[in-house]
Chains A and B, each alone.
Chain A
Amino acid sequence: MIETLTQPWPWYVAGTIIGLIVPTLLILGNRHFGISANLRHMCAACFPSNIPFFKYDWKKESWNLFFIGGILVGGIISTQYLNSPDPVVIHPDLAKDLTQFGITDFSGLVPVQLFSFDQLFTVRGLIMMVGGGFLVGFGTRYAGGCTSGHAIMGLSDLQWPSLVATICFMIGGFLMTNLILPYILAL
């Protein structure tokens, strides 16, 4: 049992469990699956700064903060107790591309050669960590949701604006990875 759990889980298992989170949250308390609104709640809780967008009763949405707290704990649990002994398998073409940019350590889920405190003092690291994070926070709120709120919850409820948002997420991602990121990685 534990051996099965420590192996990387196939996509259909992960997809099914994530899909089931949608009805679970609805049945537990009519909560709509979504993550990025938490960033707004954190602003509302910590830095409302008299901005109308952040003046609402964030405490009513505190379930969402508990939810991401759980995600954090889930990350700790699986890393501590369900860790796979095998290295992460990476597509050979991706490995080849990344090696050109000096990224050779594929051992973790998050590449330490790009995302670490040391990297903050490099132009590349600064752009990727601070710039990338900023785009995620700004873009998700501007779009009114992220992969969970739009791509999974919105599409599950057959909302066409969510389909528009999801297609735009993908276009943005394709543009970045294939056209822009090579220049950033070369820095």
Chain B
Amino acid sequence: MKQKETDFEVRSLDTMCVNESELVHPWWYNFKYAAVGVIFGIVFIKAEIISWFRIQEMFKLQSFHMYGVIGTAVVVGAISVFLIKKLKIKTIHGEEITFTNKKFNKGQVYGGLIFGLGWAITGACPGPLFAQLGSGSLAVIVVIASAIAGTWVYGKFRDQLPH
């Protein structure tokens, strides 16, 4: 496909399609991912990761909490990825687990800074937004809608943006 060549966001830059499975599963197999999401959502709330106040404390260096959460997650994640690679662990369906190297582009700097600004205002990254909505803060639907709009505007103008 011609389009792929002009695509700045090559497969490696995104979760998008990096892990396309050859196997075809019935759609309800996806509920296993929903189950993982439920656990994630509970942790988000119970560890107060979705708290606007915790995010402010993080950026004011008033609390170690968020650094502890993210730091521990990275260490546990890194050990897991190392073991999966080392022991060549396969998926439960016997497929190989694959990793794609991310390629640097300027978007990680500009986009990263822009997201950082938004993160500190809303007190939430994309995952917690959905947990906040679930926790009963219905007005967060506005923040989510605006985030979708932001993504759309990026898609519309990405050819003009430095990458």
Q: A1-43, CB under 8 A of B: which get 1 and which 0? A: 0000100111111111111111111111111111111111011
Residues of B112-140 contacting chain A, CB below 8 A: 112-127, 129-140
* Complex Cα–Cα for A115 and B141 (A): 10
Question: Size range of the interface on A?
Answer: 35 or more
Contact A173:B58 (CB < 8 A) given known A73-B34, A78-B45, A120-B142: yes
* Complex Cα–Cα for A143 and B75 (A): 22
CB pair B46–A176 under 8 Å, yes or no, is no
* Complex Cα–Cα for A78 and B58 (A): 23
CB pair B155–A54 under 8 Å, yes or no, is yes
Nearest-neighbor residue (CB-CB) of A154 within chain B: B102
Contact A66:B16 (CB < 8 A) given known A19-B77, A156-B74: no
CB pair A159–B91 under 8 Å, yes or no, is no
From A27, A72, A151, give the contact of B74 (CB < 8 A): A151
Residues of B39-89 contacting chain A, CB below 8 A: 39-53, 55-60, 62-66, 68-78, 80-81, 83-84, 89
From B57, B111, B144, give the contact of A91 (CB < 8 A): B57
- Enumerate chain A residues within 8 angstroms of B72, measured Cβ to Cβ: 11-12, 14-16, 18-19
A168 within 8 A of B: yes
Q: Specify which of A71, A114, A167 lies most central, judged by the most chain B CB atoms within 10 Å of its CB.
A: A71
CB pair B146–A137 under 8 Å, yes or no, is yes
A interface with B by C-beta (< 8 Å): 5, 8-40, 42-43, 47, 49, 51-56, 60-64, 66-79, 82, 84, 88, 90-91, 93-94, 106, 108-112, 114-117, 119-120, 127-162, 164-178, 180-181, 184
B interface with A by C-beta (< 8 Å): 3, 6-7, 9, 13-21, 25, 27, 29-53, 55-60, 62-66, 68-78, 80-81, 83-84, 89, 91-93, 95-99, 101-105, 107-127, 129-140, 142-156, 158, 161
